[in-house]
Amino acid sequence: MLEGIKVVEYATYMAAPGAGAILRDWGADVVKIEPPGGDPVRLFFRTIGTDLQDNPVFDFDNRGKKSIIVDTSKDEGQEIIRKLVADADVFLTNVRPGGLERSGLDYDSLKSLNPKLVYCSLTGYGLQGPDADRPGFDIASFWSRTGVARLTVPKGEELFANRTAFGDHTTSMSAAAGICAALVEAGRTGKGRLVEASLFRAGLYALGSDFAIQLMFDRVASTKPRHDQNVPITNFFQTSDGAWICLVSRQGEVDWGPICRAIDREDLIEDPRFTSAKGRRKHRAEVVDIIDEGFAKYTKDEIAERLDAQSLAWAPVQTLAEVAKDPQAHAAGAIVQTPSAKGDGSTYPSPASPVRFPGADDGPKGPSPAPGEHTRDVMGALGYSEAQIADMIEDGTIKVG
């Protein structure tokens, strides 16, 4: 879908590289500019004492890209970026605004070189306001400051961290969508624009339904334990063989009867305590106990058959080990074979990008690059001579892999 689109990615860590990886899966040509020490995520496993050549965390966000290493603290390094941007379609960065402005790599400076450039800035908190230049990480900007961390934890329990890059990759999806929208406009008008994505705004959107309630009514319900749910039949229940099932009821009163039939409690279908949502809420602890008792009579497979027979919405609560073997994950294209960085032609399974385009090549376009693997080729394509490249290697402006 994005074949012929040139992306210059001046970013490290996960959120912005994740957006670049989505664009690359969808066909864009992505040149990743790394600092002299390489993207810090390359060290993700080394810091815990392993020496894996395949780094699934780095590889996931950087598969198929070209890597060049440039010291952008040097004037010559900044000039290399300007040359790359001159005929690019997209510039993607998570460098803080102050640093970009000091380097002459801010939006106003680069759009003068390339009016059709789509310039995506991905930051912790956006480009305006008192925290525009504050460092941002997903556990801070996406998880904590937005209220997600506090609202996710049941009332009275201690806070806990989000999982690795959960907020980063939610923001990656929003940034990729914004870039694609701006590319559509640029194709129509010939003019690019600034695309502003942030962990903070993506987190607020991800929590948007609750945030909308807060903004309207100046309050929002806390997250409650199972026996205290306002809608107790939308809940989690355990089977006789230890599996947990997420049961989801539809709006209105249509599912109480089917649930009673699924757990072999038809005697409760017309019980006046439970026939209305208001009644079930009043007696919610008792409702949960009744369904707990019903689920505990059946294995996971048995209750699954009974729930399906009543056309109820449900899902197993799975571990990632179980998801990796889930036939639906494979049928949905959610797991793709990615070329190994070993260069031996082998592949390994990895998460797919978030959207499928049936019939299109929307998967990994190659392995993740070695640090500076493509520096020499990219510099040559920009018109630098072998002598100039050698001089810049000598003075540390660039490194080759």
Percent of the residues in the chain that have a pLDDT greater than 90, as a whole number:
94
Using DSSP, state whether 45 is helix, strand or coil: coil
Instruction: Say if residue 54's pLDDT is above 80.
Output: no
Strands of 313-316's sheet, edge to edge?
A: 235-238, 244-248, 313-316
Instruction: Say if residue 48's pLDDT is above 70.
Output: no
Residue 155 binned pLDDT confidence (cut-offs 50, 70, 90):
confident
Cβ burial, residue 319 (10 Å; 0-12/13-18/19+):
exposed
Write the pLDDT tens digit of every residue in 105-116.
Answer: 999 999 999 999
Instruction: Say if residue 251's pLDDT is above 90.
Output: no
Instruction: Say if residue 53's pLDDT is above 70.
Output: no
Mean pLDDT of the 296-301 span: 98
Least Cα distance to 153 among 215, 211, 218, 225 occurs for: 225
Report pLDDT for 50: 63
Angle at which helix 15-25 crosses helix 166-189, to 10 degrees, equals: 50
Least Cα distance to 188 among 252, 105, 126, 116 occurs for: 116
Mean pLDDT of the 158-163 span: 94
Mean pLDDT of the 188-212 span: 98
Instruction: Say if residue 47's pLDDT is above 80.
Output: no
Rounded CA separation 223/117 (Å): 44
Percent of the residues in the chain that have a pLDDT greater than 70, as a whole number:
98
Instruction: Say if residue 371's pLDDT is above 70.
Output: yes
Rounded CA separation 117/82 (Å): 12
Helix (H) or strand (E) holding 111: helix 107-111
Report pLDDT for 62: 97
Asked if 53 contacts 18 with a C-beta cutoff of 8 angstroms, the reply is: no
Instruction: Say if residue 381's pLDDT is above 70.
Output: yes
Write the pLDDT tens digit of every residue in 124-133.
Answer: 999 999 999 9
User: What is the pLDDT of the chain when averaged over all its residues?
Assistant: 95
Check residue 218 and report its DSSP letter. Answer: S
Angle at which helix 199-206 crosses helix 208-217, to 10 degrees, equals: 80
Report pLDDT for 6: 98
Sorted by where each starts, the structural domains of the chain and their CATH numbers stand as: 6-208+330-399 (3.40.50.10540), 226-317 (3.30.1540.10)
Asked if 94 contacts 122 with a C-beta cutoff of 8 angstroms, the reply is: yes
Residue 52 binned pLDDT confidence (cut-offs 50, 70, 90):
low
Report pLDDT for 344: 87
CB atoms within 10 A of CB 306: 20
Mean pLDDT of the 27-38 span: 97
31-52 as b/e: b if 16+ CB within 10 A:
bbbbbbebbebbebbeeeeeee
Residue 395 binned pLDDT confidence (cut-offs 50, 70, 90):
very high
Report pLDDT for 83: 97
Report pLDDT for 105: 96
Mean pLDDT of the 198-207 span: 98
Report pLDDT for 2: 97
Least Cα distance to 285 among 237, 240, 226 occurs for: 226
Report pLDDT for 401: 87
Report pLDDT for 44: 86
Instruction: Say if residue 360's pLDDT is above 80.
Output: yes
Residue 342 binned pLDDT confidence (cut-offs 50, 70, 90):
confident
Instruction: Say if residue 19's pLDDT is above 90.
Output: yes
Instruction: Say if residue 13's pLDDT is above 90.
Output: yes
Report pLDDT for 343: 84
